[in-house]
Amino acid sequence: MSSSMEPIELIAGLGNPGEKYAKTRHNAGFWFLDRIAAQNGATFRPVSRLLGEACDAMVAGRRVRLLKPATFMNRSGQSIAATLSYFKIPAERLLVVHDEIDLPSGTIRLKHAGGHGGHNGVRDIIAHLGAQAFARLRIGVGHPGQREEVIGHVLHRAGNAEQVEVDAAIELGLRELPGIVRGDLRAAMNVLNQRKRASQETPSDSGGQSL
């Protein structure tokens, strides 16, 4: 694995549009982008040509575009492909943030390239881009235990204790985001991929890092 990758120009969070889904586990990618926007004082607005809601933010001194597809999870690739094409951004400068049932709540992992791992949103992105060479930030939401329960699990809200863990993982990811945006993959992986849970934080880790 290379120690660096291309700097990030587009961060796309995956989820489903509308109030019905806003607080469900499948929208963890949207939650992450909402936190970036809030820290920048930015507001998402519908952009029809991008098939989603978008805004700009400053991260690590760089302007990045934030995108929340409005095409529903299983068609995320339509919006992301349209956005990359419109702004002439190569797939290598894309970061996709999404929920991950194969990780326990409270964990967050960074991955560069590879397959879709069974995630339908990522599957559609790969299909539309014809490429796998983009970064993914995977937010653990836990597995319900049975395959037939997965859809119900991701389309329902987390319990209070679980939500606290997911929120802590998101905050940890946000602190490493400047490095990711700069393209320093290894340093971010060393932090995110070594922890079993965000609750492993020590007091010295808790100082916030500006986006």
Give the catalytic positions in this structure: 26
Instruction: Estimate the share of the chain in helix, then strand, then coil, as percent rounded to the nearest 5.
Output: 45, 20, 35
Residues in the chain: 211
Task: Enumerate residues 6+ apart whose C-beta is below 8 A from 113.
Answer: 132, 133, 134, 135
Centre a 10 Å sphere on the Cβ of residue 117 and count the other Cβ atoms it contains: 14
150 burial level (CB within 10 Å; 0-12, 13-18, 19+): middle
